[in-house]
Structure 1
Amino acid sequence: MADFELAMVEFPADDPERARAFWEGVLGATLDVRTDNEGAGWQTHEGTPSIGVHKRGAGPGDSFSLPYFAVADLASALARVESLGGSVVHPGDRWAICKDSEGSPFGLALDAPEPPCSAAATPS
């Protein structure tokens, strides 16, 4: 896998069941329940990038979609982001939320994206 390969896009939803039905219909794929986190969440495991849906207020973003990029070495990727003028707003061991040089948020995930639906970090 190449570093910074788009791996997942996560969408916040006021009605996660409605959003799940929408994305399943659009993608023709099943979104599996994610029970590893607080808050309702689903994620495709078919194809790349994966699509995730979480209850608004339970994920890293309330009003924006959040792309996640897979990386082989999270520490090196975070250093690269910072060296290029970006910032790390929520560091972690397997995933992190960053902002680019213009303040747009994005996520980095080690190998496979598994961002928690209950992340407390909301880029401002």
Structure 2
Amino acid sequence: MTSTGSRPTPGWFDISTPDASQARRFYQELFGWTVNVIDDTYAFIGGDGGRPAGGIGQAGPSSPYTGMVVYFPVDDVEAALARAESLGGSRVMEPAPTPLGRIAVFADPDGNHVGLVSR
């Protein structure tokens, strides 16, 4: 999945929830996370050195998933998504551009949601 031959490790997390403001408060109080609210639907969660490590988003009726998804950095989101599908995974969220790069989400054969993010 990568051109360097390295094994992807988690690079981002996303919590999608019907009550994002409640989730932001909960995790901020639980872990002491810095929360940077972008708009009514999304907030970045601070990581080491002030760089965001994840986010909490508002899930709506058309949201592709709710819950926590861990994103793994890959060189090519579309190629990694196609590989996941060839191994028995199923597409949950189509590749889409974000400020972090292109992202997509698939379900593994057991139904666990896994994210991909371009480097």
Q: Taking structure 1 as the reference length, what is the TM-score of the superposition?
A: 0.67
More RCO (CA 8 Å, sep 6+): 1
Give distance in 1, aligned partners of 2:38 and 2:52: 17
Q: Per the alignment, in what secondary structure is the counterpart of residue 95 of structure 2?
A: coil
What secondary structure does 1:85 align onto?
A: coil
Matched, 1:109 2:117: yes
RMSD of aligned residue pairs (Cα, Å)? 2.7
Aligned pair in 2 of structure 1 residues 22, 67: CA closer, same or farther (>3 Å)?
same
Paired residue type of 2:43: W
How many Å separate the matches in 2 of 1:82 and 1:13?
Answer: 26
SS at match of 1:34: strand
Query: Compared with structure 1, are the counterparts of its residues 22 and 98 closer, same or farther at alpha carbon in structure 2 (3 Å cutoff)?
Result: same
For 1:14 and 1:103, the matched residues in 2 are separated by 20
Q: Are residues 15 and 92 of structure 1, via their aligned partners in 2, closer, same or farther at CA, if it must alter by over 3 Å? A: closer
Secondary structure, aligned partner of 1:92: strand
State whether structure 2 residue 44 is matched by structure 1 residue 43.
Answer: yes
Map 1:1-124 onto structure 2 (within 5 A): 2-35=6-39, 39-47=40-48, 50-57=53-60, 59-62=63-66, 64-93=67-96, 94-111=102-119
Taking a change above 3 Å as real, the CA distance of residues 89 and 60 of structure 1, as seen in their structure-2 partners, is: closer
Unpaired runs of 5+ residues, structure 2, are: 97-101
Q: Using structure 2 for the length normalisation, give the TM-score.
A: 0.69
User: Relative to 1, partners in 2 of residues 1:16 and 1:80: Cα closer, same or farther, differing over 3 Å?
Assistant: same
Partner of 2:11, secondary structure, is strand
